[in-house]
Amino acid sequence: MHESVYTLKPMKKHLDLRECVDCYCLAARRKAREITRLYDQYLRAHGLRSTQFSVLVALAQSENVPLGRLAHALGLERTTLTRSTALLERRGWIRSDAATDARVRPLRLTRSGRQKLEAAYKSWKNAQLAAEKKFVMRKI
């Protein structure tokens, strides 16, 4: 009989995992999700999530932005941004323009997208003020 590769091996006894409870990375991710939920709550009435709002803002500031460059600017993985932009495109808020290189896929904000962005701006501003009050005053 051979040992399975999935067999759990006992951990070293001197390893104290209690320290991991105070992991800065985990704490930062928790706080980031809390902040995201706050913005999403304010933008929900407009049918937007905070990430989608950010895409609309970025496209409003530049025309014909290639997906890869937009992903880099927003700090997102290309595949994550592809899913978000597909939804925004189905809703008619952005569109893909034809390009000689299919891998580039330039995106632009539509008139409907600009209207959505303008309608949601006040809610975003309120979320920004709420986040400042809740998180910045406490020095995250």
* Mean per-residue pLDDT over the chain, rounded: 88
State mean pLDDT over 36-64: 96
136 — pLDDT class (breaks 50, 70, 90): confident
- pLDDT band for position 54 (cuts 50, 70, 90): very high
69-108 per-residue burial string, b: 16 or more CB within 10 A, e: under 16? ebbeebebeeeebeebbeebeeeebbbeeeeeeeeebbbe
User: What does the alpha-carbon distance between residue 115 and residue 28 come to, in Å, rounded to a whole number?
Assistant: 34
CATH classification of 50-136, choosing from 1.10.10.10, 1.10.510.10, 3.50.50.60, 3.40.50.1580? 1.10.10.10
User: Between 130 and 140, whose confidence is greater?
Assistant: 130
Alpha helices in the chain (DSSP H): 24-43, 50-61, 67-74, 78-90, 111-131
Q: With contact defined as beta carbons under 8 Å apart, do 67 and 97 qualify?
A: no
Q: State yes or no: pLDDT of 1 exceeds 60.
A: no
| Sheet with strand 65-66: strands edge to edge | 65-66, 106-109, 94-96
For residue range 81-97, what is the model confidence (pLDDT) as tens digits? 999 999 999 999 999 98
Torsion of CA 74, 75, 78, 84, to 10 degrees: -50
- 12 Cα distance to chain centroid: 38
- List the chain domain ranges: 50-136
Residue 47 has pLDDT above 60, yes or no: yes
Q: What is the per-residue pLDDT for 139?
A: 53
Q: Give me the pLDDT at residue 118, please.
A: 98
